[in-house]
Amino acid sequence: MQTYQLDTPALLNQAMQRIMRKKEIKTALDKNAITREQTLQCLKQAYRCLNELCKPVAVVLPISANLFSLDNHFVLLAGETRIKSVRMSRHLSCNAAQAYLYLFSCGYDSREAFCWLQQDYSAYHFQDMLSNELLFAIGRQLHRGIKQLNPNKNCYRYPIQTDQQSNEIANVTWDAEKTRSLLKLFNAYDLGITCNPKGCFTPLHSILGVMMTTPKGPALKKAC
Amino acid sequence: MTEEELDDLFDAICEGDRDTVVSLVETAINNKDDVSVLLNEAMIPAMGEVGNRFSENIIFVPEMLVAARAMQGGINLIEPILASSGHEPIAKVAVGSVKGDLHDIGKNLVIMMLKGAGFQVEDLGVDVDIPIFEEAVNNGYKILCLSALLTTTKDEMRTVINHFKDWKNVKIVIGGAVITQEFADIIGANAFGADASEAVKAVHSCIAA
């Protein structure tokens, strides 16, 4: 297990810089002095809110992964959760492949943010946009960390997909139950992240994912 | 308020100029102007214009947000006056993310735009179960707006619609990132809003029906 030390101010600044470059924000900032000022006001308010409330966490967990059905491309993670993934099973068939689970979060409750922002819906929306960027910044740091630990390997990420038949009403591709099952593996680390039966995390800005590293090299590349 | 000042108020909302909106509305209140004129002839049309610009991709969400914030600055001042004068809203609308769904960004955008269009809006929050919707209906909120962001929660909309199908005068509008007109038709929603601006039109269509 690796818990990442996260530099919250640096990540938040990175998120703020990124959000300022987003097309929709940039358009508002370039519009005219008033729209620019009001947009900046909202962004600064969102920044202050996150600076006050967020407590980012990130953990990476090496796990066992077994390919147990080549025909249907199923992978068994940590001995309990079955994932159907052609890509993942292909990567797993490489020698020395290592699977990881990662979990990271901005570490604050959205309801708390809404109160902090005094029920200002607009400011709350900016807070959500900034929080998304912060989440991506955490993800990038985590990904870099795994790459550093595995300098001669490729890193792949996989969606936690359902293998059930979709119906006409809900074309569900992502599996909430499997996400919950994998989240249990982090219980010992007391991160305060939960997931409801529909797959919604609390805190809302949290991500759980599966990653695999495989050795680099021409022969293995071919095999993978 | 003069025609010119009404135009200034309209423009200030469209530009998201909260300070000017507050200043103009305060002046009008101090002058004992009819605030319903401000609302109906400048503020609501301005948010309508903002919604149209958003639908036509002339502006993006951030500009819509600052406009809504400016509008709210004015609404906060005139709301108590309207309430004490017995002003009736266009309709009462309750908005919530369906059971199991904790996402609220789309729902909140719809709330802002509905308030800007002159509706009385009750924010039911997220993870809203049927008894909460029932309570809203019993309190006079006959139009329910349901939001869902996830494929895993969209089926909850059908549960709510089925629950209210025999209730008199209850209309249900649905929307969210994973919702389509086709889905709305399949589950029997009264209307569908593809985005926050369209949601306002969808609610209007429920009143007209």
Q: CATH number, domain at A14?
A: 3.40.109.40
Q: Which of B16, B102, B153 sits opposite A38 (nearest CB)?
A: B16
Q: What's the total number of domains in chain B?
A: 2
The residue among B197, B136, B137, B186 whose CA lies nearest residue B157 is B186
Same-domain pairing of B59 and B101 = no
DSSP element (H, E) containing A115? helix A110-116
List pLDDT tens digits, range A45-99.
Answer: 999 999 999 999 999 999 998 887 656 688 888 888 888 888 888 888 887 889 9
Q: Can you tell me whether residue B160 is helix, strand or coil?
A: helix
Q: What's the total number of domains in chain A?
A: 1
Residue A224 lies in a domain: no
Question: Residue A211, Cα to own-chain centre: how many angstroms?
Answer: 11
Distance from CA of B33 to the nearest CA of A (A): 27
Contacts of B103 in chain A (CB under 8 A): 200, 204
What Cα–Cα distance (Å) separates residue A83 from each residue in A59, A89, A179, B206? Answer: 21, 9, 10, 44
Same-domain pairing of B77 and B14 = yes
* Domain assignment of residue B165, given as a range: 92-208
The answer to whether residues A59 and A103 touch, using CB atoms and an 8 Å cutoff, is yes
Q: Which residues are CB-neighbours of B56 under 8 A, at least 6 positions away?
A: none
Inter-chain residue contact A35 with B150, CB threshold 8 Å = no
CA distance A58 to A37: 34
Inter-chain residue contact B69 with A168, CB threshold 8 Å = no
Give the pair of three-digit tokens for residue B121.
């809006």
Q: Can you tell me whether residue A43 is helix, strand or coil?
A: helix
DSSP element (H, E) containing A102? strand A98-105
Same-domain pairing of B26 and B120 = no
CA distance B108 to A56: 25
Contacts of A128 in chain B (CB under 8 A): 105
Looking at residue B142, its pLDDT comes to: 96
Tell me A154's DSSP state. Answer: E
Looking at residue A169, its pLDDT comes to: 59
List pLDDT tens digits, range A165-220.
Answer: 655 556 667 889 999 999 999 998 889 999 999 999 999 999 999 999 998 865 45
Same-domain pairing of B63 and B100 = no
Same-domain pairing of B119 and B169 = yes
List pLDDT tens digits, range B115-159.
Answer: 999 999 999 999 999 999 999 999 999 999 999 999 889 999 999
* Domain assignment of residue A51, given as a range: 2-219
Residue A169 lies in a domain: yes
What Cα–Cα distance (Å) separates residue B163 from each residue in A55, A206, B128, B188? Answer: 41, 33, 14, 12
Inter-chain residue contact A172 with B72, CB threshold 8 Å = no
Q: What are phi and psi of B15, to 5 degrees?
A: -85, -10
CATH of the domain at B35: 1.10.1240.10
Q: Which residues are CB-neighbours of A220 under 8 A, at least 6 positions away?
A: A94, A95, A214
Distance from CA of B124 to the nearest CA of A (A): 13
Cα torsion for B108, A58, A179, A110, to the nearest 10°? Answer: -20
Same-domain pairing of B41 and B59 = yes
Q: How many CA atoms lie within 13 A of B159 on its CB side?
A: 15
Looking at residue A88, its pLDDT comes to: 87
Contacts of A133 in chain B (CB under 8 A): none
List pLDDT tens digits, range B21-41.
Answer: 999 999 999 999 999 999 999
Average pLDDT in chain A:
89
CATH of the domain at B104: 3.40.50.280
Q: How many CA atoms lie within 13 A of B192 on its CB side?
A: 17
Q: Is the ipTM above a cut-off of 0.90?
A: yes
Alpha helix segments (H runs only) across A58-106 = 86-92
Looking at residue A216, its pLDDT comes to: 82
The answer to whether residues B69 and B115 touch, using CB atoms and an 8 Å cutoff, is no
Same-domain pairing of B202 and B113 = yes
One-character DSSP codes across B92-155? EEEEEEETT----HHHHHHHHHHHHTT-EEEEEEEEE-HHHHHHHHHTT--EEEEE--STTTTH
Same-domain pairing of B7 and B99 = no
Inter-chain residue contact B66 with A23, CB threshold 8 Å = no
Which residue bears the tokens 């490729």? A154
Distance from CA of A55 to the nearest CA of B (A): 20
Kindly state the average pLDDT of the residues B71-96.
92
Domain boundary (B84, B105, B139) is at B84
- Residue A134, pLDDT > 60, answer yes
Distance from CA of A112 to the nearest CA of B (A): 13
